[in-house]
Chains A and B, each alone.
Chain A
């Protein structure tokens, strides 16, 4: 009974009346501790969650430690080349098994009482087993690590789920898969995470970070100072071309662009680069034109793209290329980690330019993400006001198209809705409909697992 009351409350937080061109979200989705707890249980620990890129656990025994919701897990490269995931807790007394976020160990030995586990999860050694567990029928396998029920990679992007019943990752990604393809197919040798990363804490809700990543609407206000700064730099230093130049044209918002609700809560935006020739990937134009369909090449070279895969990963190919992972900590806290992802073996000049563009824009030490964070934190602060509690997300409903527009049809993906302007906010309809669906669907309770 109580569950139904709570479900109705969550459901009422999304005011979804498309026939009246009304779509509003109660800001308590950000601030309410009950919402946060339910999100951990019903979204993060019940559906697919991004874990890592395959290049972060390459050799047999290589591991990458992360979380699914509130639960520590690690992904481990197996001897046969496959990937497995395990709950990151010693089967004995629960200590974390990985001393590092990213490391390599074909045998993980717990640093507390010295129990050892193979990278396949099998318990292979118990200290003083003969005296501690002398019973004849003792079966060490009862202490094997607990597997993450589902771990699947889509073209190098590794996802995991604590719920064994989730659909295949390709089915889950749906239309978003094509947007991942547009990054992956740039490099026949694969992609790699470049050494170095940044993790920062935001005073705000994790969903605000996801929204920000595909918010074309804020760019011409929050980032006009970035555009002005690089314009000033280019005039001062006489930069009129080459990869040292910044693709500033899209920031003013006067270029062809678009926004998609990709279904299942995934979202994407794109905007035309006015100077595509200054992008690092442009050096590979001829090869791409030789290897890929013309439409793919057009999207790769001339359209900056941001993708948000529900619930916790964003993949950007805009001034630079980025994986951004958000980890919810509390209603008002999230940890965000950003990685630069790049084609393996790209020319040194392209790699350097990619990194410099990344550092210019994408870090809290940079000249744009820092402004995003400040805007986000103000939004969280303002969201505490209950007398005016609705976020209006109806901008662009008049120009929204159900299903694919011509661009989507030509490239070959099928979004739930399309919009002709990346400033439209209609992509969030899909995000919050998915959110509402997962927050009100029945899930297996912890004690039944």
Chain B
């Protein structure tokens, strides 16, 4: 399939921007990349090889069904009253393998991989890795995230996993 290089670049830039906004803790700008009805989903592992696949009837690590769920996360981080979020872990996201998978009309599917270097002042450095499945949509001409599924590769990790680790 011939893909529009302009679109490809636009998608990659959105995905890179999201990662950078998380690392720079620009939470409100991060949320603004999402549509109001955005779904943010991190399935659980069902067994050694498969994740859960129906978020309504199975357990997820995170399942936010609109932007409000993301705002809750930010509210908690910014309260400075969350034990796990004071001090905040430092993070660097490195996103790669961005692929535009399907661009039918206004709805764009894209994949990406992400490795996050995390530094905790208490327990030191760790690496966390995820597969990203995006559904993007245009809102007033601008590309926005309508759905993000994060397949979190690691298990048996020490410490909290919040939106900035993903």
Are A and B subunits of one complex? yes
Contact A196 B72 (CB under 8 A): no
By beta carbon, the residue of chain A nearest B68 is A237
Chain B CB within 8 A of A102 CB? yes
Provide the residues of chain A in CB contact with B122, threshold 8 Å: 377-378, 381
Once bound together, how far apart are the Cα atoms of A42 and B43, in whole Å? 39
Once bound together, how far apart are the Cα atoms of A365 and B72, in whole Å? 13
> Please, how many residues of chain A have a CB less than 8 angstroms from a CB on the other chain?
48
Interface residue from B59, B71, B158 paired with A200 (Cβ < 8 Å): B158
Provide the residues of chain A in CB contact with B76, threshold 8 Å: 225-226, 229, 367
Contact A225 B45 (CB under 8 A): no
Chain B CB within 8 A of A307 CB? no
Contact B61 A233 (CB under 8 A): no
Which parts of B14-58 form the interface with A (CB within 8 Å)? Answer: 42-48, 51-52, 56-58
Provide the residues of chain B in CB contact with A130, threshold 8 Å: none
Contact A352 B56 (CB under 8 A): yes
Tell me, rounded to whole Å, the shortest Cβ–Cβ distance linking A235 to chain B. Answer: 11
Per-residue contact bits, chain A 96-126, to B (CB 8 Å; 1 contact, 0 not)? 0000111000000000000000000000000
Q: Which of A140-148, A265-273, A355-363, A406-414 lies at the interface? A: A355-363
Provide the residues of chain A in CB contact with B84, threshold 8 Å: 370-371, 373-374
Provide the residues of chain B in CB contact with A371, threshold 8 Å: 82-84, 160
Per-residue contact bits, chain B 72-86, to A (CB 8 Å; 1 contact, 0 not)? 110110010111100
Once bound together, how far apart are the Cα atoms of A339 and B58, in whole Å? 11
Once bound together, how far apart are the Cα atoms of A182 and B56, in whole Å? 26
Chain A CB within 8 A of B155 CB? yes
Contact A201 B44 (CB under 8 A): no
Once bound together, how far apart are the Cα atoms of A232 and B79, in whole Å? 11
Chain A CB within 8 A of B161 CB? yes
Chain A CB within 8 A of B113 CB? no
* Residue among A195, A348, A378 having the largest count of chain B Cβ atoms under 10 Å: A195
By beta carbon, the residue of chain B nearest A338 is B59
Once bound together, how far apart are the Cα atoms of A372 and B82, in whole Å? 10
Would A233 and B68 be within 8 Å (CB), given that A196-B43, A340-B59 are in contact?
yes
Provide the residues of chain B in CB contact with A230, threshold 8 Å: 72
Contact B75 A365 (CB under 8 A): no
Once bound together, how far apart are the Cα atoms of A231 and B44, in whole Å? 27
Contact A356 B63 (CB under 8 A): yes
Tell me, rounded to whole Å, the shortest Cβ–Cβ distance linking A363 to chain B. Answer: 6
Chain B CB within 8 A of A364 CB? yes
Chain A CB within 8 A of B123 CB? yes
* Residue among B56, B82, B83, B162 having the largest count of chain A Cβ atoms under 10 Å: B83
Where chain A touches its partner, the secondary structure class is helix
Tell me, rounded to whole Å, the shortest Cβ–Cβ distance linking B161 to chain A. Answer: 5
Once bound together, how far apart are the Cα atoms of A348 and B157, in whole Å? 31
Contact A359 B63 (CB under 8 A): yes
Contact A225 B160 (CB under 8 A): no
Provide the residues of chain B in CB contact with A63, threshold 8 Å: none
Provide the residues of chain A in CB contact with B58, threshold 8 Å: 194-196, 355
Provide the residues of chain B in CB contact with A352, threshold 8 Å: 56-57
Chain A CB within 8 A of B3 CB? no
Chain B CB within 8 A of A17 CB? no
Interface residue from B47, B51, B72, B157 paired with A364 (Cβ < 8 Å): B157
By beta carbon, the residue of chain A nearest B160 is A370
Chain B CB within 8 A of A15 CB? no
Contact A228 B158 (CB under 8 A): no
By beta carbon, the residue of chain A nearest B43 is A196
Contact B47 A365 (CB under 8 A): no
Which parts of B115-133 form the interface with A (CB within 8 Å)? Answer: 122-123
Provide the residues of chain A in CB contact with B79, threshold 8 Å: 225, 228-229
Provide the residues of chain B in CB contact with A254, threshold 8 Å: none
Chain B CB within 8 A of A202 CB? yes
Once bound together, how far apart are the Cα atoms of A230 and B68, in whole Å? 11
Interface residue from A102, A202, A351 paired with B47 (Cβ < 8 Å): A102
Which parts of B147-166 form the interface with A (CB within 8 Å)? Answer: 155-162
By beta carbon, the residue of chain B nearest A340 is B59
Tell me, rounded to whole Å, the shortest Cβ–Cβ distance linking B51 to chain A. Answer: 8
Chain B CB within 8 A of A310 CB? no
Provide the residues of chain B in CB contact with A8, threshold 8 Å: none
Contact A367 B157 (CB under 8 A): no
Contact B61 A363 (CB under 8 A): yes
Would A196 and B75 be within 8 Å (CB), given that A225-B82, A236-B68, A371-B84 are in contact?
no
Interface residue from B43, B46, B61, B158 paired with A202 (Cβ < 8 Å): B158
Interface residue from A201, A365, A370 paired with B42 (Cβ < 8 Å): A365
Would A100 and B47 be within 8 Å (CB), given that A199-B155, A358-B59 are in contact?
yes
Tell me, rounded to whole Å, the shortest Cβ–Cβ distance linking A194 to chain B. Answer: 5
Tell me, rounded to whole Å, the shortest Cβ–Cβ distance linking B130 to chain A. Answer: 12
Contact B62 A365 (CB under 8 A): yes
Tell me, rounded to whole Å, the shortest Cβ–Cβ distance linking A204 to chain B. Answer: 10
Contact A364 B44 (CB under 8 A): no
Which parts of B83-126 form the interface with A (CB within 8 Å)? Answer: 83-84, 122-123
Contact A198 B57 (CB under 8 A): no
9 closest A-B pairs by beta carbon, nearest first, are A196-B59, A196-B44, A370-B160, A371-B83, A374-B84, A225-B81, A374-B83, A370-B84, A196-B52
Interface set of B (CB-CB < 8 Å, partner A): 42-48, 51-52, 56-63, 68, 71-73, 75-76, 79, 81-84, 122-123, 155-162
